[in-house]
Each structure stands twice: as structure tokens, then as C-alpha cells.
Amino acid sequence: MAALPWIKLKSAAAGPQAFRRMIGEADPKAKAGDLVAVLDKNGAPYGVALYNPKSLKALRLLTRQVEGFDADAFFEERLSRAFELRRELFALDAVTDAYRVVHDQGDGLPGLVIDRYGDYFVLEFYSLGMFRQAERLERLIQARFPKARFTRRASQYTETMEGFRIEETEPTKVRVRENGVAFEVHPTGGYKTGFFCDQRDNRLAAAALAKGRRVLDVCSYTGGFGIYAKKLGEAAEVTCVELDAEACALSKRNANINQVAIDAVCVDAFPYLRQMAANGQKYGLLILDPYKLIASRETYDFGRRKYIDFNRLALALVEDGGFFLTCSCSGLLPWDDFQQILRTAAGSAGRRVQIFRKSGAGIDHPVAADYPEGEYLKALWCRVF
């Protein structure tokens, strides 16, 4: 393999990435999206990274081993480790055919998420450099899954910031199974990769609290928590509240697939919660799983206030002694601050809240020790009085 172009740092990176301001010199041959050899400020080998001088995260470190680096061998090894964790060590295939195959830094492949839905693999890219590896990644996956089909995705924000474009593909759908519950997933549409595999364990745990209870699933997306509560948890009744009309329609379809009845309401959750309070409605189990309310440091204070409002309104609807599961998928929100949000909301709502469990994403979402931001999903399990 030809020698990699080099990038020299002027200051050491604290974690597995380096920002533009940390770069000292760059090989004229180094282009955006390249694999590059990284040198420290003294010129000693530091590692191999994905390079994009246009991005705020100019270097995403892949490995500290520079000598003898071979791209095919590297990506083969990282994918093998990722599949081994899910399929052999955790035996997820026995539980579901929908799970995360690659979780960004947690699997040593920064700028990449891969979710599996049966024979369908969705590759979501967060960096130009990893997007350039798409064909290689698909070839390596297909060697393990000969029937594999692929969809590539990226947010408009990522495409703009990183400088690439993914062409739209024909809409498709696939049916998956998870703990005995079936879901229709649209890998080419919806949010993220089409389904939230990260909540799989939490959906199952919440269902165990649902028996005989009225359940309200707020920001329900395609009905995950609510359908679990009805089918596995034997809830007395389930209402799923979702603003996105297509997701709401899909939650009704998922309920039909599972032969259960839910009330799917397409409405903004804030006025709905206020209306239910005015109507004197109470629920034995309420799940609050909103979209990411804190997307950047600039929106932190606004998003934090929104979390407080959401939780305050939700707590008012939980019956005395009932259960409340509140979630946040904002990676920038620390655990301590999330708990403070709950304390503030409880005080404002005049409720006493007993936290009996904390959880996060499923075991297919590992977190790198040097990248704690990867622990984005937080769930607080509460009893309310």
C-alpha cells in the first residue's frame, strides 16, 4: 500500500479526534476525505485518521498503529470485532434481527453508524472520510451476509458541514422482530436509520410495569413502547402520542401487525399533555421519550428548559403510585443535569418522585472509554406520589 499523506499536530488531541485549531502542518498531497498518517508536534508517529480540513473535527483517529497500516485489514478487523460482540458474545440474533452493528467511536469506527434490519443494512455517515469508505464497508458486510442490501444515510447538517451528498433512494420497508414483537421499518425514511434499536431493553423493561395499567407513550415515534406495553405487558389501554403523521400512521400499522389495539394520536405533545391535565386524566405508566432537545451547546439552555416543561407536564398525569419513565437522547446533557431537570420538574408539579433505576442504550451501543459523549441515551425510572 502506498504511503499515506501526513498531518502534523501542533497540540495533542485529548480524545480520539483533533479539531482544526490543533493542526500544525499538512502534506500538500492530503485531501479532504483521505486516510492520513498523523504525526505529533515532534514529528513522531501518532496514528492513522480520517482527514477533513473543512470540518470542525478535522481528524478522526482510527488507530495509533501507523507502521504497516492496511485499510482492508483494518476495516475487516473492526467489523469482525463488531459482529462478534453482537452475534457471538451477546447472541442478539436469538432475540432480534434489528440491532446496531457499528456504534461510531464505541466500535472504533468514528463517523459511522450501521444498523441491521434483517437483510437490510443502513449505513449512516457523520464524516466525509468514512463516507469515502462506503463501498469497502458494504463489500466486507456482504461477505458475511450474501443477501445484504444497503442504504446510505446522512443528515443534511452533516452533508453540509462535511462536504458530501447522498442521493435519495427508492422508499423501502422491511419487517423485523424484537423480543417477540414485530415492527415495520422504513430504512430509507423517518428519523436516524428508521428505527430506534437503542431502546430495545428499555421497551422490554417498561412492558413489565404495564400490566392492567393505562399507559401513555409520549413522543412514541412508531409505537415501540406502547405496543410492547400492550402485547407483552398486557396493559389495560395504550395511547401513543406523536406529532409526525407518517410515524403515527406506522404505529397504527405496527399495532395491527401485532394484533393489538392502541390509540394513536397525531398531535403536538405539549398542548396534548395540558389538555389531558385539564380533563383530569391519569395514567399508571407514562413514558416520555422526546427527540433530541439539545442539539448544540448554543441551544443547551433552551433545550434544558424544554426538558423541564415536558417532565413537569408529564408528571402531573401520573397516578399516585404510578410509574414514570423519562428519557433523554441529548449527548450533551450530563446525567447529573438530567436528574436536576427531573427534580426541578417534580418540585414545579408538586409531586414526589422516587428514582429506582437508571439505564441507557442497549448492549449493541458500546461506549469508548475515551469518548464518554457516546453515552447519549439516559433513562430514569421513577415512581410518582
Quick: pLDDT tens for 29-67. Answer: 999 999 999 999 999 999 999 999 999 899 999 999 999
If pLDDT is split at 50, 70 and 90, which confidence band does 11 have? Answer: confident
Residue burial 106-124, b: 16+ Cβ < 10 Å; e: rest: bbbbbbbbbbbbbebbbbb
Closest CA to 41 of 78, 5, 10: 10
What is the reported pLDDT for 2? 65
Q: Which residues contact 31 (CB under 8 A, 6 or more apart)?
A: 5, 51
Among 2-11, 197-206, 217-226, 324-333, which is the least confidently predicted range? Answer: 2-11
**How many whole angstroms separate alpha carbon 378 and alpha carbon 359?**
6
Q: Is residue 81 part of a domain?
A: yes
Q: What is the DSSP string of 153-201?
A: E--HHHHHHHT----------EEEEETTEEEEE-TTSSSTTSS-GGGHH
Q: Are strands 57-63 and 45-51 parallel, antiparallel or unpaired?
A: antiparallel
Q: How far is CA 364 from CA 104, 113, 115, 314, 354, in A?
A: 11, 11, 10, 29, 29
Q: CB-side exposure of 246: number of CA atoms within 13 Å? A: 7
What nine digits make up the cell of 340?
436536576
Instruction: Give the model's pLDDT for residue 334.
Output: 94
Domain shared by 219 and 97, yes or no: no
Mean pLDDT within 122-130: 97
Give residue 264's pLDDT.
Answer: 97
So what's the pLDDT on residue 194? 85
Query: Does residue 80 fall inside a structural domain?
Result: yes
pTM of the model: 0.93
Band of the pLDDT at 128, cuts 50, 70, 90? very high
Buried b (16+ CB within 10 A) or exposed e, 50-76: bbbeebebbbbbbeeebeebeeeebbe
Residues 130 and 58 in one domain: no
Tell how far CA 159 is from the center of its chain.
Answer: 18
Is residue 176 included in any domain, yes or no? no
Q: Into how many domains does the chain fold?
A: 3
* Same-domain status, 358 and 223: yes
Whether pLDDT at 1 is above 70:
no
Which single residue is written with the C-alpha cell 492530503?
30
Lowest mean pLDDT, pick from 10-19, 167-176, 180-189, 359-368: 10-19
Task: Indicate whether 116 and 204 sit together in one domain.
Answer: no
- Indicate whether 204 and 316 sit together in one domain: yes
* 268 and 215 within one domain: yes
In a domain, 177, yes or no: no
Domain limits at 24?
6-63
Residue at 168 is within a domain? no
Same domain, 347 and 219: yes
What's the CATH code of the domain at 41? 2.30.130.10
Same domain, 41 and 82: no
Do 98 and 233 lie in one domain? The reply is: no
Residues 144 and 279 in one domain: no
Q: What percent of the chain has pLDDT over 90?
A: 89
Q: Look at residues 116, 143, 162 and tell me which one is the last residue of a structural domain.
A: 162
Query: How far apart are alpha carbons 159 and 200 in whole angstroms?
Result: 29
